[in-house]
Structures are given as structure tokens and as C-alpha cells.
Amino acid sequence: MAVRAVRGATQLEEDSREHMLERVAEMVLDVMAANELEVDDFISVIFTATSDLVSEFPAYAARRLGFGDVPLICARELEIAGSMPRVVRMMAHVETDLAKSEVTHVYLHGAANLRRDLTNARAVPDER
């Protein structure tokens, strides 16, 4: 068993509480499914959000999924000129038998454009 970091990101269409909870839950569940993880496999999760997202803590979506015993923290993403708006990112530290090269990072909706260089990324673009 090894400790691995797995990344995820999603873009919201608007800053509303329910939309935040929906998109973050989708991202967390997709990371879990893509890497065959259960809540007990998570050591900790760091969430970041761009400064235009203020309606809810992204970590609350994970709490609602049963992450009550997993240390979670939220932080602000750096404000870089021209960066993508309304993005929530996660970096989870997990225990897994997967090799680094087998870890699947998940980028959803508009955030699929952020890391096309990751060969194991499962990208889901917006339906627009």
C-alpha cells in the first residue's frame, strides 16, 4: 500500500450554494470511481476555490458524502491574470495499491481544459 496524491478540478457555471455542492460532489465521486477508492482510503483533502466562489465551502460537499473523519481544508486559489473563473480544485492524499502512473486525475466541465497534459486524466467537457 502506498500514499498517492490524486487531483481533481471542476468549473461551476454560477456561484450558488447548491451548484457548488453538486459539482464538488460530482468531482469527489468521480475521483473515487476512477481510482477505485472508498472514503477510508483518504488521508486528507485540500480544496481550493477561485476568489469568485463564495457561496459555500467546497469541503462541505465532501462532508455530506461521509468524509466526517477525513481532514479537509479549503483555501483560495492564486489570482493570476487570465486564469479560469469559478474553479474548484482538489488534491487528495490516499492509500492505494495503484502505481503513480495508474492514478487517474479527474477534470470536469470547463476545467477539462486545465490539464490536458495528464495522460491519465479523465476529462469531461461542458455540454455546451
Map out the domains of the chain as residue ranges.
2-124
For the entire predicted model, the pTM comes to: 0.89
Q: What is the DSSP letter of 33?
A: H
- Answer yes or no: is pLDDT of 119 > 60: no
Within 8 A by CB and 6+ apart from 23, the residues are: 10, 11, 12, 88, 108, 109
Q: Residues 8-66: pLDDT tens digits?
A: 999 999 999 999 999 999 999 999 999 999 999 999 999 999 999 999 999 999 999 99
Residue 59: enclosing H or E segment and its boundaries? helix 58-64
- Confidence class for position 114, pLDDT limits 50, 70, 90: confident
- Answer yes or no: is pLDDT of 98 > 60: yes
User: 2-124 belongs to which homologous superfamily?
Assistant: RutC-like (3.30.1330.40)
Integer Cα distance of 50 and 38 in angstroms = 27
Integer Cα distance of 108 and 49 in angstroms = 14
What pLDDT, on the 0 to 100 scale, is given for residue 60?
98
